[in-house]
Amino acid sequence: MPHVITQACCGDASCVYACPVNCIHPTPDEPGFGTAEMLYVDPSSCVDCGACVSACPVGAILPGHRLPENADRFVDVNAGHYGLSEDETGAPGARFPVEQHRRLPLAPIRKPKAIRGGPGRVDVAIIGSGPSSMYAADELLKQPRVHVTVYERLSTPFGLARFGVAPDHQSTRRVIDLFDDIARHPNIDIMLNTDVGEDISLDAVRARHHAVLWAGGAPTDRALPVPGVDLPGVRSATQLVGWYNAHPDFLAPEPNLSTDRVIVIGNGNVALDVARILTAEPDGLEATDISRDALTALRASTVREVVVAGRRGPEHAAFTLPELIGLADGTARVWVDPAELDRWPTPDHPDPTAAAKVALLHEISQRRRPEEPFIRLTFGRTPIEIVGDDRARGVRFRLTGSDAEETIDTGLVLTSIGYRGVRVPGLPFDETTGTVAHRAGRVVDGGDPIPGVYVTGWIKRGPSGFIGTNKTDSGETVASLLADAEAGLLPIPR
């Protein structure tokens, strides 16, 4: 039975390079890689060698015969990507004849090129220690002449891999083991508790290194532009995530969980994360590394329903299919009111992922309403006001496609409408996108590259993508940096 990629996929493409028969797609060089919600094994080509299993940092790939029951759906999700029918996905024990392999062009494996020109030793500073930083360091450290110093403002490294990923996604957290391995390389130093801009200036860091690579992420949330958003009882998902993950910036104040209903505005994967944690059985979180204060507060919570409010229709839901499958088939209690979906016509959708999301939402809507507390997914609700005098008491929505309005009562509103980068003193910043201006990772000012200054990760491309997306992103930046080193374009440290 062929191997199957499951919901824990974070898209770093390590499996692509490990697979000897090139049956995992899209590869980073194929169209669609940047927008794919996960990678997929072609079951008609997989020879069951298992090489991808050990390459995967988050344990997302399993042999088909060892799939847990709640991952069954992924057999079809993987095969569906290749247009294979259910029959062709293979019953247990079925084998796929090797001659049927559709040999697509082999994914080019980027071999690290040794730098020949430039300075003898190349000192690179990376600001931030999140996924984009660690993938960049990994790539740089393949060069024996490169020494990397990582500056991290917190006392604990690895950014959102540690302080963002939900505590009930322990397999995703395993990527931290990979980052720990990278951090053990003899040519890397990690300076914790060092905020560049506060504890040391960017100019001082630049003066000590041939190159500086900014990988500080997009640390703040986008503001919801509606009246009432500043009322007590309105928090951002960023704050809630930071609180349950014990991020030192977000330990207090505690969110108000003495309310029947929480409304989450936005329906991306972060919205699903917070909804799952707020409705989870606290005993099930006991063994995770959730903050102990948050666990105590969750035990005392009176929340009975978490409404996740998307502004567009179900086929445009921002959450990904793998996360919806995890929600539907895992321990979470999730529900969609059938009347909710009746509002949306369901034409044959040209995008199979959107079609699969809509089909699964219909399946969920046919289930019995779960026990409280549960997650209610709603669609077509654009928030127009947070109502309340002294504190938030409800959200007024306009229903998409009509002039109708609806107010839903609540004692806690969580805005989860995406993250945003903040201006980095000393670097050109695009206020519209919240990113540092760059060309292929070289920071540019007025169109000209600033010698020796680079950028990667969320502050480079904006706050989207999975942990592994940062690997290809950082690969591009490091390629630019190494080309500049070889061409002798890096400034000499003072």
Ligand X SMILES: Cc1cc2nc3c(=O)[nH]c(=O)nc-3n(C[C@H](O)[C@H](O)[C@H](O)COP(=O)(O)OP(=O)(O)OC[C@H]3O[C@@H](n4cnc5c(N)ncnc54)[C@H](O)[C@@H]3O)c2cc1C
Ligand Y SMILES: NC(=O)c1ccc[n+]([C@@H]2O[C@H](COP(=O)([O-])OP(=O)(O)OC[C@H]3O[C@@H](n4cnc5c(N)ncnc54)[C@H](OP(=O)(O)O)[C@@H]3O)[C@@H](O)[C@H]2O)c1
Q: Give residues in contact with ligand Y (CB under 6 A).
A: 224, 265-271, 273, 310-312, 318, 320, 323, 383, 416-419, 463-466
- Partner that binds at residue 197, options ligand Y, ligand SF4, ligand X, none, CB closer than 5 to 8 Å by kind: ligand X
Binders of ligand X among residues 17 to 46 (CB under 6 A) are: none
By the 8 A CB rule, do 443 and 455 touch?
A: yes
- Pairing mode, if any, of strands 412-415 and 419-420? unpaired
In whole angstroms, how close is the CB of 468 to ligand Y at the nearest point? 9
- Partner that binds at residue 318, options ligand Y, ligand X, ligand SF4, none, CB closer than 5 to 8 Å by kind: ligand Y
Nearer to ligand X, 396 or 442 (CB): 442
By the 8 A CB rule, do 9 and 60 touch?
A: yes
Which among 91, 374, 426 has a CA at the least distance from the CA of 260? 374
In whole angstroms, how close is the CB of 172 to ligand SF4 at the nearest point? 9
In whole angstroms, how close is the CB of 93 to ligand SF4 at the nearest point? 16
Nearer to ligand X, 278 or 358 (CB): 278
Query: Angle 465-466-467 (CA atoms, 0-180°, nearest 5)?
Result: 130
Residue from 152, 221, 305, 484 touching ligand X (CB under 6 A): that is 152
- Partner that binds at residue 435, options ligand X, ligand SF4, ligand Y, none, CB closer than 5 to 8 Å by kind: none
Binders of ligand X among residues 236 to 265 (CB under 6 A) are: 241
Cα–Cα distance, 463 to 416 (Å, whole number): 13
Nearer to ligand SF4, 221 or 473 (CB): 473
- Partner that binds at residue 418, options ligand Y, ligand X, ligand SF4, none, CB closer than 5 to 8 Å by kind: ligand Y
CA–centroid distance for 215 within its chain: 15
The DSSP code for 20 is T
In whole angstroms, how close is the CB of 16 to ligand Y at the nearest point? 18
The DSSP code for 64 is G
Q: Is 467 in the site for ligand X (CB under 6 A)?
A: yes
Binders of ligand X among residues 412 to 431 (CB under 6 A) are: 419
Nearer to ligand Y, 386 or 490 (CB): 386
CA–centroid distance for 29 within its chain: 20
- Determine the interface stretch with ligand X among 137-145, 164-172, 260-268, 336-344 (rule: CB under 6 A): 164-172
Nearer to ligand X, 195 or 406 (CB): 195
Residues engaged in binding ligand SF4 (CB under 6 A): 3, 5, 9-15, 18-19, 21, 23-24, 39, 41, 46-52, 55-56, 58, 60-61, 468
**H and E: helices and strands count for the chain:** 17, 24
Q: Is 133 in the site for ligand X (CB under 6 A)?
A: yes
Q: Is 10 in the site for ligand X (CB under 6 A)?
A: yes
In whole angstroms, how close is the CB of 298 to ligand X at the nearest point? 17
Look at residue 366 and give its three-state secondary structure.
coil
Cα–Cα distance, 78 to 81 (Å, whole number): 6
Whether residue 347 is preceded by a cis peptide bond, meaning omega within 30 degrees of 0, is no
User: Token pair for residue 488?
Assistant: 């002798």
Q: Give me the helix-helix angle, 469-486 and 131-140, nearest 10°.
A: 40
Residue 26, phi-psi category: left (phi > 0), alpha (psi -120 to 50), beta (remainder): beta
Nearer to ligand SF4, 13 or 334 (CB): 13
Q: Is 477 in the site for ligand X (CB under 6 A)?
A: no
404: exposed, middle or buried (Cβ count in 10 Å: 0-12, 13-18, 19+): exposed
By the 8 A CB rule, do 321 and 37 touch?
A: yes
Binders of ligand X among residues 443 to 462 (CB under 6 A) are: 457-458
- Partner that binds at residue 55, options ligand Y, ligand SF4, ligand X, none, CB closer than 5 to 8 Å by kind: ligand SF4
- Partner that binds at residue 265, options ligand SF4, ligand X, ligand Y, none, CB closer than 5 to 8 Å by kind: ligand Y
Nearer to ligand SF4, 55 or 384 (CB): 55
In whole angstroms, how close is the CB of 477 to ligand SF4 at the nearest point? 19
CA–centroid distance for 73 within its chain: 21
In whole angstroms, how close is the CB of 72 to ligand Y at the nearest point? 20
By the 8 A CB rule, do 134 and 180 touch?
A: no
Which among 1, 219, 36 has a CA at the least distance from the CA of 127? 219
Which among 365, 351, 413 has a CA at the least distance from the CA of 386? 413
How far is CA 241 from each of CA 39, 42, 228, 270, 377, rounded to the nearest angstrom?
26, 35, 22, 9, 19
Using Cβ positions, the residue closest to ligand X within the complex turns out to be 130
In whole angstroms, how close is the CB of 312 to ligand X at the nearest point? 21
By the 8 A CB rule, do 309 and 381 touch?
A: yes
Q: Is 196 in the site for ligand X (CB under 6 A)?
A: yes
186: exposed, middle or buried (Cβ count in 10 Å: 0-12, 13-18, 19+): exposed
- Partner that binds at residue 14, options ligand X, ligand SF4, ligand Y, none, CB closer than 5 to 8 Å by kind: ligand SF4
Site residues for ligand X per CB under 6 A:
10, 127-133, 151-154, 159-161, 164-165, 169, 172, 195-197, 215-217, 219, 241, 270, 273, 419, 457-458, 465-467, 469-470
